[in-house]
Amino acid sequence: MSNSWPPPPGSMPSLNPPTLASQGQAAGDQWYRHQVYYPEPPFPMSKETALQPRLRPITSLVNVAINTSTPRTIQFDIPCAVYAVSAAAVKTDGQALPAGMDPLNTFTIQYEHTNGDRFSTAAGLGSTMVGDAKFPMLLGGVGWLFDRGSALLTTVVPLQANMRIDVVFWTIEIRGGRNYGVPGR
């Protein structure tokens, strides 16, 4: 079995991908350890590239009926890495939440790249899928990488009536130094 990329001509997709055991026994495969809790997105090393932090908030719901799915899309016009997610939820009718209820448990949320890649395979309670502004949910490893023109679909479902739910995606944009081509490059 060859591990080359791209696959050679005539290659066919396998419906039997390797297991951890077979991957560990493959000739030439080396394993290493890498922490994944703290985000470590890859960035180009170029004096013509700048990194720009940007918060991308979406107000998902304001007085939407309970159990109503509300999808929101964030379009990325500049390549970026999403490295953390935070949220807040408040009642809009002046009423208090039930005693002891975490505001982040007043909704479920699911994340998906618009190419169909699900960052979360199912929806989960907010407290398990986002953090708050003090302690955002960190997207360990490389985070979620988006190229120019791609988008993130977030689906929020309120579990309480009369809620405003804001979700904020913490990103680093990878900005090129120019928007024109240089001959010979």
Q: Is the pLDDT of residue 27 over 90?
A: no
134 lies in a domain? yes
Write down the pLDDT at residue 3: 59
57-102 pLDDT, tens per residue?
998 666 788 998 989 999 999 999 999 999 999 999 999 999 999 9
What is the CATH classification number for the domain harbouring 113? 2.60.120
- The pLDDT of residue 34: 83
Whether 115 is in a domain gets the answer yes
Poorest-pLDDT segment among 45-54, 74-83, 111-120: 45-54
In a domain, 74, yes or no: yes
- For the chain, how many structural domains are there in total? 1
Q: Where are the beta strands (DSSP E) in the chain?
A: 49-62, 70-75, 80-91, 107-113, 124-125, 137-138, 144-146, 151-158, 163-176
Let me know if residue 24 belongs to a domain.
no
- State the amino acid at position 18 in one-letter form: P
* Token pair for 173: 């944009």
Nearest CA to 123 among 147, 157, 97? 157
Predicted confidence (pLDDT) at residue 46 exceeds the cutoff of 60: yes
pTM of structure: 0.82
Whether 8 is covered by a domain: the verdict is no
Bridge-based pairing of strands 137-138 and 107-113 is: unpaired
Find the domain containing 88 and state its range: 35-176
